[in-house]
Structure 1
Amino acid sequence: MMKQFLEAQGLNYKEVNVQTDPAAAQKLVQETGQMGVPQTKVNGHWVLGFDPETLMQYVKK
């Protein structure tokens, strides 16, 4: 759902699959303390789960 939302908004993103990239998974846990997905980093802020309202607040900053 997050990818579809980002695409619908015309926002570019880089997808990282933490299931196939153990180093990325470890970095994610270090930065957020969470392992759940999706987690989206926007302008230095993490958005946990599918939360379009919060995501768009960070996009506008």
Structure 2
Amino acid sequence: MNEITVYTTSTCPYCHMMKSFLNKQGLPFKEVNVQLDPAAMQKIVSATGQLGVPQTQVNGQWVVGYDPDRVMRYVQA
């Protein structure tokens, strides 16, 4: 079972693209909206040094931005 968390904001078009991509792949994920959860924003900045979204954690690995190929590299078949 893959553990996927997508950190998003409400207005980010790439966040919507990432969620849509994961849905099309049939990959369940948890969404954390960092606009509503400032502590989560601090967590991702601490983990990756990046402020932008989407940031997706896939089985412990971070993918910054909309990068479907990289996401699929970390997904377990």
**TM-score, scaled to structure 1:** 0.94
Structure number having the greater strand percentage: 2
Residue 31 of structure 1 aligns to a residue in which SS? helix
1:6 aligns with 2:22: yes
Residue 16 of structure 1 aligns to a residue in which SS? strand
1:20 aligns with 2:36: yes
Q: Please give the alpha-carbon distance, in whole angstroms, between the structure 1 residues aligned to 2:64 and 2:41.
A: 14
Residue 47 of structure 1 aligns to a residue in which SS? strand
Residue 15 of structure 1 aligns to a residue in which SS? strand
Q: Please give the alpha-carbon distance, in whole angstroms, between the structure 2 residues aligned to 1:26 and 1:50.
A: 20
Give % identity: 66
Structure 1 residue ranges without an equivalent (≥5): none
User: Aligned pair count?
Assistant: 61
Structure 2 residue ranges without an equivalent (≥5): 1-16
Structure 1 residue runs of 4+, over 3 Å off?
none
Q: CA deviation at 1:60?
A: 3.1
Q: Which has the higher contact order (CA 8 A, sep 6+)?
A: 2
